[in-house]
Amino acid sequence: MKKIQILGTGCAKCEKLAENTKQAADNLGLDYEMEKITELNQIMNFGVMTTPGLAVDGKVLVAGKVPSPAYIEKLIG
């Protein structure tokens, strides 16, 4: 099971990233758990200074932008 983490304070871009990521993971038929990390200290522990961020299994794949579901599929597939 993949652990997908959305790093962000809950802003509109963070919500859109979560939505796009869920769509991508569902399209791929992944077995995953999604977690939203909203605490700034925890986000900074990932080394992310610009939100939103996307991490899978603790590895940051995207920071500071909201990629399309198709692009996210390439990253997490």
Is 51 catalytic? The answer is no
Catalytic residue among 6, 7, 14, 17: 14
Closest C-alpha among 75, 3, 1 to residue 36: 3
Catalytic residue among 10, 11, 47, 75: 11
Is 14 catalytic? The answer is yes
d(CA 57, CA 16): 20
CA angle 34, 20, 75 (to 5 degrees): 80
Active site residues: 11, 14
